[in-house]
Amino acid sequence: MTVDSATQADLAALLPLMRGYCDFYGASPSDEGLAEMASSLMAAPDSEGMLLVARDDLGTPIGFAVVGWKWSSLRAARVAVMEDLFVDAGARGGGAGQALIEACAERARANGAPCLLWMTAPDNTVAQSVYERAGATGETWLEYELELGG
């Protein structure tokens, strides 16, 4: 298995994985929106955002991670935020999730981030065990969303 930057050649294989991630969280963005987001991340330098892909031994995408950036007053620095992490159900348990986390952390570190942050649903205990094996610790913050319409 390998992890590297996604390219336009990966788009057709990534879209079903991205849809699987959205389905898991009960979200339904358009395929066009997902393709536009993926293409924008593929074209962006790491310092603006990243789309990494985990590939099986045949080079087929089996998972992906999306990383963005935000400023943190608590860190007095720009921190990396892993917005999405997903591995195809048939490939889970093979280390792709941990490999994606490690690759995201390596890229974030190379761009000067003091930490890599991410969230998961409180009941997603399978993912939480992967995160803990990767050395991450959970926090007690609640996330709020304010829909802005449009």
Domain membership flag for residue 55: yes
The label of the residue with tokens 């536009």 reads: 36
The label of the residue with tokens 């593929």 reads: 42
Domain membership flag for residue 139: no
The label of the residue with tokens 């330098």 reads: 45
Q: Which two tokens stand for residue 98?
A: 């941990």
Domain that residue 103 falls in: 2-133
Are the C-beta atoms of residues 77 and 113 closer than 8 Å to each other? Answer: yes
CATH number of the domain enclosing 48 = 3.40.630.30
Domain membership flag for residue 69: yes
**pLDDT of the chain along its 150 residues, tens only?**
999 999 999 999 999 999 999 999 899 999 999 999 999 999 999 999 999 999 999 999 999 999 999 999 999 999 999 999 999 999 999 999 999 999 999 999 999 999 999 988 888 888 888 888 888 888 877 677 767 887
If one counts the domains in the chain, the total is 1
Cα dihedral 81, 83, 88, 89 sign: positive
Domain membership flag for residue 148: no
